[in-house]
């Protein structure tokens, strides 16, 4: 359900006050988050599934080295799936005030914000 015009204005105002009031927090959140690399997630999930199959083969064959190899593959798959992020922050989050824009979209977003402010 979309937000009403009043709710959207209130949300924009709260977001703007957060950006201006706590620049350090915004900068740290921008660095901590990143866009999800869906290729890495899919590859990680496939590696986890393959590792699970290798563990099952190790148990059925009564071979602990094969099971350990499957565990390592599963662990690597989880790390790949949850650990890989791209460098850019979430779309639509402007940079902290006073920070230098890092790319075309950041500069465009800052221009848009300046244009919207009275």
pLDDT in tens, 52-90: 999 999 999 999 999 999 999 999 999 998 885 544 444
Is 50 exceeded by the pLDDT of residue 92? no
Q: In this predicted structure, what is the pLDDT of residue 73?
A: 95
Element (H, E) at 35: none
Q: 99 lies in a domain?
A: no
Domain enclosing residue 8, as ranges: 1-33
- Separation between Cα atoms, residue 1 and residue 67, nearest integer Å: 49
Same domain, 29 and 43: no
Same domain, 19 and 53: no
Same domain, 38 and 82: yes
DSSP 92: T
Q: 54 lies in a domain?
A: yes
pLDDT in tens, 17-51: 777 777 666 666 655 455 677 888 899 999 999 99
Q: In this predicted structure, what is the pLDDT of residue 24?
A: 66
Residue whose structure tokens are 């866009």 = 35
Same domain, 12 and 50: no
Total of domains in the chain: 2
Per-residue burial over 96-110, b if 16 or more Cβ lie within 10 Å, else e, is: beeeeeeeeebeebe
Give the pTM. Answer: 0.46
Q: In this predicted structure, what is the pLDDT of residue 88?
A: 45
């Amino acid at each position: 359900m979309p937000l009403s015009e009043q709710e959207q204005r209130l949300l924009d105002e709260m977001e703007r006050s957060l950006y201006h009031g706590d620049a350090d927090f915004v900068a740290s959140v921008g660095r901590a988050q990143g866009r999800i690399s869906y290729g890495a997630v899919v590859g990680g999930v496939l590696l986890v599934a393959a590792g699970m199959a290798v563990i099952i083969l190790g148990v059925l064959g009564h071979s602990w080295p094969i099971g350990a190899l499957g565990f390592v593959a599963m662990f690597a798959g989880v790390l790949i799936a949850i650990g890989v992020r791209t460098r850019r922050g979430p779309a639509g989050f402007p940079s902290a005030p006073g920070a230098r824009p890092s790319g075309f979209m950041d500069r465009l977003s800052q221009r848009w914000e300046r244009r919207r402010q009275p």
